[in-house]
Amino acid sequence: MSTKSQISIKSTLVTALNNKTITNHQHQVYLVLLSIPKGKVTTYKEIAHKINCNSAQAIGQALRRNPFAPEVPCHRVVRTDLTLGGFSGSTGNETVLRKMKLLQSEGVKFQDTKVEDEWSQAKVLEDCVWTF
């Protein structure tokens, strides 16, 4: 993402915060998401730690409500065990498969798993994990 695009998205986030269409918590989470590069993922717990939040679940709720996707890349967040978890507020296989394909298109690599139709159990390779 270009610097100009990042500035535009950050401006959009500030406007949304000022208009009270997102909460301060959501604003903090979405700003952190903008720092995760393509080809990398982070965890709900890592984001919680970054913004001094005690709840990885609260991070998940903010991501579930993300009105700025995919520009604010909530798809780049996975569980602590590096499995995909949910996507777009769902843990169903079809939506999680979309998350996996989106991450693969950005260069994220997965362990070779033999779990048929259980996309939420697919694991990201550790060298694709981004920490703050």
- Name the residues annotated as catalytic: 74
Q: Any residues with CB less than 8 A from the CB of 69 and at least 6 apart, and which?
A: 75, 88
In degrees and rounded to multiples of 5, residue 124 shows phi and psi of -75, 140
Q: What are the distances in angstroms from CA 74 to CA 27, 29, 112, 115?
A: 13, 9, 24, 24
- Alpha-carbon distance of 63 to 73, in angstroms, equals 9
Q: Cβ–Cβ contacts within 10 Å for residue 1, how many?
A: 12
Q: What is the 8-class DSSP label of residue 37? A: P
